[in-house]
Amino acid sequence: MAVIRGVVNGITAYLNFEFACDRGYAFSERGMASALAQLIHAAEKVDSIEFEAKHPVLVSNKRGRPRSCDIRWAKDGGNRWIEYKWFGYSSPTLHMILRDIYRMGVISRATGDPTFFLMCGMKRSVAGFLARSENQRVVRKKAYSLVRDSNSLFPVLRPEHLPKKILLKLESEFGVPLPFISMEGITSTVKDESNAVARCCALGFEVKGK
């Protein structure tokens, strides 16, 4: 968990810095790749880092670019993998989040490699997604603090418990049985909600598939 802890705390500080400099509003998921690579290298002193790395298990049934993962890094002869999602003025759907988590779970089950998933961006968007995904009322204005333990977000994912529509989409897309997922998570620790600069947060998870 040391690497994901460093990434969660580092990307939160980086995003809040960018917003403080009035540069955060033009951010995108792709724009975070370089910062994440630097944070991963600082946390683990990696041997190499690759963006959009070929997925070692899933094979595309269409012509074109093979299926990939956001970042792969090598350390001590082994690989580690991470998928991440950016929450700006719009948020990813639950299907998009679950797809990335299961992409990591498939790697974990097949190879035993450490795999991770990261959610980061504007607190308002992250908190709103969490509320909607749990069928709760969207949080009130300024109620952005992620005081919940991140382990309560997706502690265990069983394929049979997924919404049927999402389950069918994932099974069709992956072409392999979905794994049983367990996750251990950590949140960033930005607590001062009165501080307008602290607009961003991150949640990181180690994903294990069986």
| Residue 100 banded pLDDT, cuts 50, 70, 90 | very high
Q: How many CA atoms lie within 13 A of 15 on its CB side?
A: 30
Q: Tokens representing 91?
A: 């948020």
Going by C-beta distance under 8 Å and a sequence separation of 6 or more, which residues neighbour residue 187? 8, 146, 149, 150, 201, 202, 203
Q: Which pLDDT does position 107 carry in this prediction?
A: 95
Q: Which pLDDT does position 196 carry in this prediction?
A: 52
Q: At 151, is the secondary structure helix, strand, or coil?
A: helix
Q: Which residue has the tokens 């389950």?
A: 167
| Residue 72 banded pLDDT, cuts 50, 70, 90 | very high
Domain boundaries, the chain: 2-209
Q: Which residue has the tokens 């909607």?
A: 132
pLDDT at 113 over 90: yes
According to DSSP, residue 142 is labeled T
Q: What integer is the mean pLDDT of 104-123? A: 93
Q: Which pLDDT does position 60 carry in this prediction?
A: 63
Determine the residue type at 95: H
Residues 9-62: pLDDT tens digits? 999 999 988 888 888 777 778 788 899 999 999 998 899 999 999 998 887 666
Give the C-alpha separation, 119 to 96, whole Å.
Answer: 12
Angle, to 10 degrees, between the axis of helix 94-111 and the axis of helix 164-174? 50
CB 202 within 8 A of CB 11: yes
CB 180 within 8 A of CB 157: yes
Going by C-beta distance under 8 Å and a sequence separation of 6 or more, which residues neighbour residue 162? 98, 170, 178
CB 201 within 8 A of CB 21: no
Return phi, psi of residue 139, to 5°: -60, 150
Residues 133-192: pLDDT tens digits? 654 333 333 333 343 444 444 556 677 777 778 888 888 888 888 888 888 877 775 444
